């Protein structure tokens, strides 16, 4: 395996703990996954699902050049548009199914990395009209994941702090 593959696998969570959204929400109850500190803020679960949504689009569409629908319809709520926690709560009956889907997306991402040659990593990705390489898209995906992991951690810290102030 090349260094490109090792780095990509590491950045997608095989070693880099800051890349696993399911790990970040361990121990949270359903109502906590939908909690927001105020209007216009994404809930924790949205960030978890959004990471998987964008990862699947980045890798499936831009790197693998897949044209079929990549996101199951029930998980389109995690796309780029803002969704209130209440809206998600009504649409997502089982958070464990979301976590299973997030894990499956990550498994598919690792398979995609394994399928790339060293040359594939550096040449323009087939599905990217701007000509970014597969390695470029993998790093964008890792950076995007880290951004949302940070937001999950911030919301979790706010939630835990709010619990301490309840009599």
Q: Which residue has the higher pLDDT, 154 or 86?
A: 154
- The answer to whether the beta carbons of residues 116 and 63 sit under 8 Å apart is yes
Helix, strand, coil % (nearest 5) of the chain?
A: 65, 0, 35
Q: Mean pLDDT throughout 121-150?
A: 92
Q: Mean pLDDT throughout 20-33?
A: 94
Q: Is the pLDDT of residue 144 over 90?
A: yes
Domain ranges of the chain: 3-164
Q: Is the pLDDT of residue 167 over 80?
A: no
Q: b or e along 2-12 (b: 16 or more beta carbons within 10 Å of the residue's beta carbon)?
A: eebbebbbebb
What is the structure's pLDDT at 38? 86
pLDDT per residue over 33-78, tens digit each? Answer: 999 888 888 999 999 999 999 999 999 999 999 989 999 999 999 9
What DSSP character marks residue 58? I
What is the structure's pLDDT at 63? 93
Q: Is the pLDDT of residue 1 over 70?
A: no
- The answer to whether the beta carbons of residues 61 and 126 sit under 8 Å apart is no
What is the structure's pLDDT at 152? 96
* Enclosing H/E stretch for 89: helix 85-91
pTM greater than the 0.75 cutoff? yes
Give the HSE-up count for residue 44: Cα atoms under 13 Å, Cβ half-sphere. 27
Q: b or e along 13-51 (b: 16 or more beta carbons within 10 Å of the residue's beta carbon)?
A: beeeeebbbbebbeebeeebbbbbeeeeebbbbbbbbbb
Q: 4: left (phi > 0), else alpha (psi -120 to 50), else beta?
A: alpha
The lowest-confidence range among 62-66, 76-80, 130-134, 161-165 is: 161-165
In the numeric block, which tokens belong to residue 28?
Answer: 């949270």
Fold category of 3-164 in CATH: 1.20.120
Q: Mean pLDDT throughout 72-94?
A: 83
Q: Is the pLDDT of residue 126 over 90?
A: no
| Among the listed residues 13, 6, 15, 22, the one whose alpha carbon sits nearest the alpha carbon of residue 99 | 22
Give the HSE-up count for residue 40: Cα atoms under 13 Å, Cβ half-sphere. 0
């Amino acid at each position: 395996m090349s260094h490109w593959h090792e780095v990509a696998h590491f950045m997608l969570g095989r070693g880099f703990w800051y890349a696993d959204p399911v790990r970040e929400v361990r121990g949270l109850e359903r109502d906590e996954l939908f909690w927001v500190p105020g209007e216009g803020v994404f809930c924790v679960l949205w960030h978890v699902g959004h990471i998987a949504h964008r990862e699947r689009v980045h890798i499936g569409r831009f790197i693998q050049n897949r044209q079929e629908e990549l996101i199951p319809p029930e998980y389109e709520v995690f796309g780029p548009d803002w969704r209130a926690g209440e809206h998600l709560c009504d649409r997502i009956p089982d958070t464990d199914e979301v976590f299973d889907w997030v894990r499956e997306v990550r498994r598919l991402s690792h398979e995609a990395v394994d399928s790339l040659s060293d040359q594939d990593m550096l040449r323009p990705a087939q599905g990217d009209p701007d000509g970014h390489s597969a390695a470029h898209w993998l790093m964008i995906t890792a950076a995007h994941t880290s951004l949302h992991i940070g937001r999950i951690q911030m919301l979790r810290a706010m939630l835990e702090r709010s619990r301490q102030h309840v009599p």
